Structure 1
């Protein structure tokens, strides 16, 4: 029973860390990255659909992304969605076949804004990890009548170690992203 609680907790924490890393990748650094646009919602036949499902994306240059729709009829909708996602400050151009998205050079002020955004996402991930730990601790406390106190104490120490490992992974990913953002 204790092993089940700990394995489920480890699995949930690992998913949270992966989700945090994915969130970090959606914040723009100096180089254009197709990952920035994967989740841009496009109104495709009345349904909001992530751009990654509607088009392929390549970056031939450091600050340019080329979006090639799988369905040419969705070209206008994709272009509209990219123009609407102007938190990136991108210039969007359509030649009838593909869409070229050119990202401007990042200013120092904009880089610092992105660092704040990434730190907020990192803190959200740490809060999620602490919530998972709290639920696991409650589950372990519920087992007190069935299992000995020594086993519960050992499991709680192991839970703290699992939590620390996952928080450290989030912190490492956060530091890497901050370094990437501040790099000119």
Structure 2
């Protein structure tokens, strides 16, 4: 399950103190508008002061959390396509149908509904598509045997064998490990960005705080993945 994730940047302003003598007119007691805008760290009566300067920061904790959340959601959607003996429309999400030499997702051609706990119905508007849809479902590697019925295709969902359950559990575990790998990579990239930001002017205190934030997010989503896998494995083995 390929999961490409792109990083984004956030611009923050950090104050950087600059030395040097003040210009003419910078006497004590000056009340010009420019003086009112001086950085709070400047000292009255002296020509030295701090001027704000924008520093582009590459690490964004909100963006990191968003991407980790997207990774978890994709895993959950992947789990939904793993049949565990009950009728679920998501089972047919991977099915693509060959129409006029083009491969078209089943969801773009028909509406999948639940007839009962063990049967799905694929309803099509064009009866000529029924045969192609039946063939696509049969050959999708889902261990399903669809039955064409005029403008619909009935899809019985058989009770999975012990071997099939074990195979499905391994498949779920593999998907979870891939998701964990992505979460770890996101954290590692975040830590690299923070090292760059530290050199660019971020304070060591804020850098440390954000490092802890990145680690906390990593730990949270790794735990969420493990809990999702545990629930899916239980579902597969119990149905």
Band the TM-score falls in, shorter-chain normalisation: over 0.9
Rounded Cα–Cα distance in structure 2 between residues aligned with 1:10 and 1:111: 33
Higher Cα Rg, which structure: 2
Structure number with higher helix proportion: 1
Q: Which residue of 1 aligns with 2:154?
A: 100
Post-superposition offset of 1:172: 1.3
Which portions of structure 1, spanning 4 or more consecutive aligned residues, are displaced by more than 6 angstroms?
none
Does 1:132 pair with 2:192?
no
Q: Which residue of 2 aligns with 1:110?
A: 164
TM-score (norm 2): 0.72
Q: Which residue of 2 aligns with 1:122?
A: 176
Cα 1:7–1:70 change in 2 (3 A) is farther
Q: Which residue of 2 aligns with 1:23?
A: 78
TM-score (norm 1): 0.92
Rounded Cα–Cα distance in structure 2 between residues aligned with 1:91 and 1:54: 19
5+ unaligned residues in a row in structure 1: which ranges?
none
Q: Which residue of 2 aligns with 1:56?
A: 111
- The alignment yields a C-alpha RMSD, in angstroms, of 1.7
Q: State the structure with bigger RCO (CA 8 A, min sep 6), 1 or 2.
A: 1
Q: Which residue of 2 aligns with 1:77?
A: 132
Rounded Cα–Cα distance in structure 2 between residues aligned with 1:30 and 1:92: 15
Aligned pairs, how many? 183
Rounded Cα–Cα distance in structure 1 between residues aligned with 2:217 and 2:58: 13
Post-superposition offset of 1:176: 0.9
- SS state at 1:100 partner: strand
5+ unaligned residues in a row in structure 2: which ranges?
1-11, 13-56
Is the CA contact (8 Å cut-off) linking 1:88 and 1:103 kept in structure 2?
Answer: no
Is the CA contact (8 Å cut-off) linking 2:88 and 2:120 kept in structure 1?
Answer: yes
Stretch deviating more after TM superposition (63-72 or 133-142): 63-72
